[in-house]
Homo-oligomer: A and B are copies of this chain.
Amino acid sequence: MTATNEDTIANRICRILAARIVTGELEPGTKLRQDHIAEEFGTSHVPVREAFRRLEAQGLAVSKPRRGVRVATFSLDDVREVAEMRAALEVLALRHAAPHLTPSILDLAEAATVEADNARDVRSWEEANRRFHRLLLAPCGMPRLLAAIDDLHAVSARFLFATWRSDWEVRPDHDHRAILAFLRQRRTENAAAVLERHVQRIGQKPAKNASGGAFAIVG
C-alpha cells in the first residue's frame, strides 16, 4: 500500500507544477528555481530537473541552457494555434470514436454538459467541459491521439483560467447539446462539423459583454 512506490518523485513534482501552471497559480514567465522547488518537496534537485523536462515537452515550461527554466508565456496567436490543432485532432478522434459510442456514454456526456452549465466557478466548468470532450473521444482507441489532445486541453485551460480570473457567468452550451443530438442520430459528420467550429472558437478575439468586461468564448 505504498502510494509513493507506484509513482516516481519526478512524476509527482511534474503533475503538481503542471496544475499550478495551468490554473495560473504560477504566472507566465515565472522563474522555476530547482533548488527552491527541491526544498519545497523535500527532495534533491535531480528529480526536479526531470520534471522540468516533462513540463518542457508538454509546452508548459521553456528552458534555456544555463539560463534556467521559466513558465511558458502564451499569446493570443498561441491560443489560436492550439485551438486549430485541437479542432483538427478532436474531429479525427470523434470520427473514429463515433461507431463505438453507446447510449450510456452519451448519457454521461449529457450529464457533464448539465454540470458545466450549472458550474458556479471556472474551475468546475473546466472540469466538466473536459470530461464531456473526453467521454466522446476516448472510445476512438488511439492512445497517442488522446494524449496529444489532453496536452492541448491543458494549454487551452491555461488561457481559460487566465481570462476568467474570478468572475464567471453561467451560460448554457448549445454546441454540446447539438453534438449530442447529432451523435444520437448517428449523424457523425454533422456532429464533427459542430465540434470543429466549437473548438475553433476558443481562440476567437475576446469580445465585450453586457457589463463591459472582456470575455472570450471557450470550449
A102 within 8 A of partner (CB): no
| B84–A92 touching, CB < 8 Å | yes
Residues A1-60 near B (CB distance < 8 A) = 6-8, 10-11, 46, 49-50, 53-54, 56-59
Partner of A85, one of B10, B50, B54, B92: B92
Task: Please state if B49 and A82 are interface contacts (CB–CB under 8 Å).
Answer: no
Q: Is the CB of A144 within 8 A of B59?
A: yes
Q: Kindly state the separation between the CA atoms of A25 and B50 in the bound complex, as whole angstroms.
A: 26
CA distance A145 to B59 in the complex (A): 12
In the assembled complex, A89 has its CB within 8 A of some CB on chain B? yes
Task: Determine whether A179 belongs to the interface, using a CB cutoff of 8 Å to chain B.
Answer: no
Q: Is A148 an interface residue (CB 8 A)?
A: yes
| Overall SS of chain A's interface | helix
| Copies of this chain, tallied across the complex | 2
| CB under 8 Å from chain B, chain A span 54-98 | 54, 56-59, 65, 78, 81-82, 84-85, 88-89, 91-92, 96
A-B contact pairs, 19 of them (CB 8 A): A6-B65, A8-B65, A11-B65, A46-B46, A49-B50, A50-B50, A50-B53, A53-B53, A53-B57, A54-B56, A78-B144, A81-B145, A82-B144, A84-B145, A85-B89, A85-B92, A85-B142, A85-B148, A88-B92
